[in-house]
Structure 1
């Protein structure tokens, strides 16, 4: 492509005469690529301002890059007007009568109608080769729009000679016309009218036909003497007919006013292959701004604006138009290149938005600032409570032989404390800003801690329910090791699910909106989390069913009652938390501080309360009876007076009383009362057993009488008489002792279970 600049002595003052043919991306004037385009656009403006001093002709023109961008693609519809007119003129000059062909008014009217029919067309003309119209050396009917909007028609050949090769729009079309054989020919017929009701004979009609591809877009040029504007022309040849052959006669063309055509100085979009000679000639600062074309400014430099990139904002936040005008930026850049005083280096920059803002209008924050004071207080309280876990572990070891702890299985208590540690750890990882790591750790700590802590509680309750439901005198023994094996199975199931979630559905950090409109980030909540919550709830419902079964089971130190309270509490609060999280984790509104506080409250009301139920009461009893325990034998039962969970205060079956732990004799007054109560219970229960035995013997005797077995009948009668006695035999011991040991119910410790 080429840029041709030609100036004569009539050019504006200060601009020397120059005739240069150069690539817009070459550097003959010691300028970089952008400066070549900038220099040319600057000269275009100066030429436009001094057009009254120009020389007639089209010598000043720009390269082909504009042709592709503004001609072939955009103005094809206007180009087709010239194509249609060329085909019309070809037929006119083939067979029209001489009177019509000599009428200049006819041809002036044609070009006027072309301009009138499309406001995008600035001018239209039919320019003839030398001596192709009458005896005129040149003839070119030319219609164009004036500044007042009227259309003026004139013979353009009067002002300048367009036959030279500097009139590229005419010269190129004449060259293309020499290849007549390459054009299309159409063959048809015509049925002229003979009279009002008949046609004349059909006549053959054939002619050479132009298409849009046969036309030519000229280099953009300054049309001095024509429209006196910067324009580009589309021309297509039309032909005369002589001696049975077609020959070039002239051109049909339209002109586009480049002052009404917007140039694009901004960089080309990524992937665009459309040529643009002006691309990248803007002077926006790419670090913080980007170039956007401004439509409607026409063929002039600075037809763009520098707007702030995403993540930056305009410094003057009160401005109505928050961008830098391209003309102003370009002028300051020109001053800088000339060494004049300018503000280009210190201005035209945008300021960076606050952290996390994709877009912004000022320096206001876009991300919700976490309340670190509140979160630190919550974390401090949680860590302070966690410090009691090692103390409680030491407590279970130090006093493991004391009855109140030994009956509750110290090993299981330590396992529950381990699970509580993991549950408290969720508050530690939740303290920090949400990330994939913290989201994964929080899910792991919650599920593993829950499975360990509440799995141990439910297994303890399950052991009590198994013993309580046994209705015979057989021995039932479920040791701590058996429970630990089952607990490992439960924890393994939870761990497997957590592993699958971490691999297949890794938690994500999602962005939400606070009520203030600020961004807030939190861990995602999807069907993996919902499934885990449902599994926890079903697990707790199983625990509730066990609690209902053992609600009347005898137990030392109210152990089963405290476990039931803990399970009920966790079920209700977990259900409430899961429902509340549906609203708290919704994209609107989102408050990470509120969510963190809710999790803290839930942990304290469940885990802390559970530890208080299980270990708080035991610590109280150990402290209360510590002096007595030191004086007595370590196997002395430390039990509250009047407890309804002893063998003496319940209607338990003999099987339950048989699953006991033998303890040493006691001289304590309360033990004597318990002995009497247990003796009364055993006597009544033995009488009941004899009544049932009597009933069974009667039924057996009646059956044998029918069979006729007399010997067996005598034996059964003797046994029946013995069972009918109201008083117990003297040989039955009246004391509820077995092997010299007092009988006491203990359903939580089965290490030394015996049978009566």
Structure 2
């Protein structure tokens, strides 16, 4: 049994602590008495707030050199893959990190809605239409024709220049032809190339689409659990006779079906699509569709609808953001921290210089060129000159402390007093 020696609290004992607040690496000495003092609740709150500030942008540099080097590696990888050498590279070279596609869900929302509309149409048709529906002299459409589905994917590509390709990919042994035969695989796929539009059945390709990552991810997510699908009601009307004299309710009124929302779709990481058709960097949006099971009144996963959008049309944001934002380009803007704030400039396609540095309150722009902010492209250019040892204005690209150019009220009072004194002096 070991007994520790008793040390008086008044005695001067040196205890070394690492000062974490300033991260200087300097050891400080404190007395043992100061160590044994019970901290007050106020001190606990201050320590908690300090920890929170460490996790936020407070006290952290707004420019991250490691993130900047990572962005340069991403650009080098992107430019190194071309149509001519993509088949010689490894699969890992044809995919970029997922955080490169930050903002794709908001910038390409309308393109994703195109795929969602088609998925809703297929879900509503497969869950409500019977094969042999007949309403007297007005007959139903029967089964879906393959020509109809080819027309849908072609219309998606032709209607939007941002959509490079679109496809419908059925679950195996799900699609039925009008003659009651069942297809093992069926995947109408359309794409644009050299100003033209083409369509093919992807079931005949060497690699089955059921092996693709985007298909497997969506199937694993929705194959068994369809609880969170949203229920939609359509109050459809139809003509009462062949001449359209009046409208009456459809026999199935209202038409009810279950389908996903746009948030339940999935944006895949950027990949280089090396298939001799698209041959460029794309981001794929995948959304499922479902068919109804009449006996149990449940729905079952039946396939997916996809659209491909070009990565080069994505607008990136290099400005500072919190740590939890999954953006590969954040904290890479070289704005002067003390006098400027970063602002993303819209309209630039996948450019890391698409930002501007606005002057903060109390600072003003230093040049007279009809601008009120410093362009990020100019800052990056001057920084590269500085690295090469050339004449550079990089260190001067910041806002200066503002000064009042007009005559203040105190100056007016001083001049008025001087005028009165001089006037009385010469009278």
TM-score scaled by length of structure 2 = 0.62
Distance 2:398 2:118 in 1: 58
Structure-2 residue corresponding to 1:229: 280
Deviation at residue 44 of structure 1 after TM alignment: 1.2
Please tell me whether residue 203 in structure 1 is matched to residue 203 in structure 2: no
Task: Name the CA shift for 1:304/1:102 in 2 (closer, same or farther; >3 Å).
Answer: same
Structure-1 residue corresponding to 2:68: 34
Distance 2:419 2:144 in 1: 103
Backbone CA RMSD of aligned residues: 4.5
Please tell me whether the aligned partners of residues 102 and 328 of structure 2 are also in contact (alpha carbons under 8 angstroms).
no
The correspondence for 1:75, drawn from 90, 108, 125, is 108
Distance 1:305 1:34 in 2: 17
Task: Name the CA shift for 1:345/1:45 in 2 (closer, same or farther; >3 Å).
Answer: farther
Please tell me whether residue 142 in structure 1 is matched to residue 189 in structure 2: yes
Distance 1:181 1:305 in 2: 46
Please state whether the residue corresponding to 1:325 is helix, strand or coil: helix
Please state whether the residue corresponding to 1:240 is helix, strand or coil: strand
Give the unaligned 5+ runs of structure 1: 1-30, 337-341, 359-366, 368-510, 512-517, 524-591, 610-756
Please tell me whether the aligned partners of residues 282 and 326 of structure 1 are also in contact (alpha carbons under 8 angstroms).
no
Please state whether the residue corresponding to 1:519 is helix, strand or coil: coil
Task: Name the CA shift for 1:300/1:97 in 2 (closer, same or farther; >3 Å).
Answer: farther
Please tell me whether the aligned partners of residues 188 and 202 of structure 2 are also in contact (alpha carbons under 8 angstroms).
yes
Distance 1:240 1:344 in 2: 66
Please tell me whether the aligned partners of residues 286 and 305 of structure 2 are also in contact (alpha carbons under 8 angstroms).
yes
Please tell me whether residue 182 in structure 1 is matched to residue 228 in structure 2: yes
The correspondence for 2:420, drawn from 594, 597, 602, is 602
Please tell me whether residue 325 in structure 1 is matched to residue 377 in structure 2: yes
Task: Name the CA shift for 1:296/1:351 in 2 (closer, same or farther; >3 Å).
Answer: closer
Higher relative contact order (CA 8 A, sep 6+): 2
Distance 2:278 2:90 in 1: 11
Deviation at residue 109 of structure 1 after TM alignment: 0.5
Structure-1 residue corresponding to 2:79: 45
Structure-2 residue corresponding to 1:750: none
Deviation at residue 250 of structure 1 after TM alignment: 0.8
Structure number having the greater helix percentage:
1
Please tell me whether the aligned partners of residues 324 and 348 of structure 1 are also in contact (alpha carbons under 8 angstroms).
no
Structure number having the greater strand percentage:
2
Deviation at residue 351 of structure 1 after TM alignment: 5.9
Range 111-120 or range 32-41, more displaced: 111-120
Structure-2 residue corresponding to 1:348: 394
Deviation at residue 125 of structure 1 after TM alignment: 1.9
Please tell me whether the aligned partners of residues 234 and 255 of structure 1 are also in contact (alpha carbons under 8 angstroms).
yes
Alignment of 1:137-536 (within 5 A): 137-148=184-195, 150-157=196-203, 158=205, 160-164=207-211, 167-178=212-223, 179-186=225-232, 195-196=241-242, 202-203=251-252, 205-225=255-275, 227-242=278-293, 244=295, 245-268=298-321, 275-283=326-334, 293-304=344-355, 311=364, 313=366, 323=375, 325=377, 329=381, 332=384, 342-343=388-389, 346-350=392-396, 358=402, 511=404, 518-523=405-410
Deviation at residue 595 of structure 1 after TM alignment: 6.2
Task: Name the CA shift for 1:330/1:267 in 2 (closer, same or farther; >3 Å).
Answer: farther
Please tell me whether the aligned partners of residues 301 and 327 of structure 1 are also in contact (alpha carbons under 8 angstroms).
no
Higher radius of gyration, 1 or 2: 1
Distance 2:335 2:166 in 1: 38
Aligned pairs, how many?
335
Task: Name the CA shift for 1:211/1:201 in 2 (closer, same or farther; >3 Å).
Answer: closer
Distance 2:389 2:383 in 1: 10
Deviation at residue 124 of structure 1 after TM alignment: 2.4
TM-score scaled by length of structure 1 = 0.38
Cα deviation per residue 1:220-255 (whole Å; 9 max; x = unaligned)?
322222522222222221123455343211112322
Please state whether the residue corresponding to 2:168 is helix, strand or coil: strand
Distance 1:273 1:142 in 2: 37
Please state whether the residue corresponding to 1:115 is helix, strand or coil: helix
Deviation at residue 256 of structure 1 after TM alignment: 2.4
Structure-1 residue corresponding to 2:60: none
Deviation at residue 53 of structure 1 after TM alignment: 2.3
Cα deviation per residue 1:384-403 (whole Å; 9 max; x = unaligned)?
xxxxxxxxxxxxxxxxxxxx
The correspondence for 1:54, drawn from 59, 82, 86, is 86
Please state whether the residue corresponding to 2:331 is helix, strand or coil: coil
Give the unaligned 5+ runs of structure 2: 1-64, 133-140, 177-181
Distance 1:68 1:352 in 2: 29
Alignment of 1:573-652 (within 5 A): 592=411, 596=414, 598-606=416-424
Please tell me whether the aligned partners of residues 307 and 323 of structure 1 are also in contact (alpha carbons under 8 angstroms).
no
Please tell me whether residue 105 in structure 1 is matched to residue 155 in structure 2: no
Distance 1:139 1:305 in 2: 49
Distance 1:303 1:597 in 2: 49
Distance 2:229 2:194 in 1: 39
Please state whether the residue corresponding to 2:186 is helix, strand or coil: coil
Distance 2:383 2:170 in 1: 45
Distance 2:287 2:417 in 1: 80
Please tell me whether residue 124 in structure 1 is matched to residue 166 in structure 2: yes
Cα deviation per residue 1:274-325 (whole Å; 9 max; x = unaligned)?
64321122356657877554544422444446788854646x9899x98562
Structure-2 residue corresponding to 1:713: none
Please state whether the residue corresponding to 1:144 is helix, strand or coil: strand
Deviation at residue 77 of structure 1 after TM alignment: 3.2
